A = this chain, B = another copy of it.
Amino acid sequence: MRIDIWSDVVCPWCYIGKRRLETALSTFEHADDVEVVWHSFQLDPGAPTTPVETVAEALGRKYGGGPDAGRAMIDRVEAAAAEEGMLWRHHDSQRVGTMDAHRLLHLALDEGGAELQGRVKEALLAAYFIDARNVADHGELRAIVTGAGLDAVAVDGVLGSEQYASDVSADIEQAQAYGASGVPFVVIDRRFAISGAQPAEVFAQTLERAWNDSHPALEVVGDAVTKADACGPDGCAV
């Protein structure tokens, strides 16, 4: 079974939703047959590579109320993160762009498949939310993703070029085609879409439903063979 997730590296509900999905997978009987692939989504494409303000300052400026209002918003997502067992330092996080982080996630998928990409995704989210690191800075990015297992030479090749930029765009277009206006956006078996960081139970129920849907019992259509025009060991119906 395949799970496609559209997500941004700086998206608080994406990290919280990731934990909730992991909770659902931890008790899912067929978790070994599940592959998770991460897709790019940019919440704030205009954010700078060199930060000029904290997330709290940016939120207060954008929605009004100043840094205090921004800090109150961060308090609320930090409380939700704490319920999932995560202690964030999101007050220290800075507003930065994520294009390069997404390009490296595409490299990870290419180089090591879903397993490596999953480790790189977790490392980037943890770096941003738990350690308040700058996930736009090339030196930081290099340290984060090589620490998760990506090859340093390949990483430098991507960071020194525009490689995978078109893959990032294609992911975003695919999200739009699905009608996803926000993230996280989770698609199970290309069939069931879960919008937002739903409770673990919603993920668990949808995993079960998708599994049963893709492993149906054989359904017999029409009359039983004994009534139909058929031939068997006892002859042909005539």
Interface residues of A (CB under 8 A from B): 8, 11-14, 16-17, 43-44, 59, 62-63, 73, 76-77, 80, 178-185, 187, 190-198, 202, 205-206, 216, 218-233, 235-238
Chain B positions within 8 Å of A16 at CB level = 229
* In the complex, residue of chain B having the shortest beta-carbon distance to the beta carbon of A184: B230
Contact A13 B230 (CB under 8 A): yes
Within the complex, what minimum Cβ distance (angstroms) separates A180 from chain B? 7
CA A117 – CA B43 in complex, angstroms?
Answer: 53
Q: How far is the CA of A166 from the CA of B205 in the complex (A)?
A: 42
In the complex the two chains form, what is the Cα distance from A197 to B227 in whole Å? Answer: 11
CA distance A210 to B238 in the complex (A): 30
Question: How many Å from the CB of A83 to the closest CB on chain B?
Answer: 11
* Bound CA–CA A237/B62 (angstroms): 14
Which residues in B have their C-beta under 8 angstroms from that of A226? Answer: 181-182
The number of times this chain is found in the oligomer is 2
Bound together, the chains give a CA A185 to CA B185 distance in angstroms of 42
Contact call A235/B197, Cβ cutoff below 8 A: no
Closest B residue to A198 using CB positions: B222
Which residues in B have their C-beta under 8 angstroms from that of A180? 225
The distance from the CB of A45 to the nearest CB of chain B, in whole angstroms, is 9
* CB atoms of A196 and B236 under 8 A apart: no
List 9 additional contacts besides A77-B236, A198-B222, A202-B221; criterion CB under 8 Å. Answer: A8-B231, A12-B236, A14-B231, A181-B233, A185-B230, A195-B220, A195-B230, A198-B228, A198-B229
Q: Contact at A193–B181, with CB atoms within 8 Å?
A: no
CB proximity of A229 to chain B, nearest CB, Å: 4
Nearest CB on B from A186, distance (A): 9
Residues of B within 8 A of A216 (CB): 191
Chain B residues with CB below 8 A from A223, complex form:
195-196, 198
Known: A13-B236, A77-B236, A225-B181. A219 touches B231 (CB 8 A): no
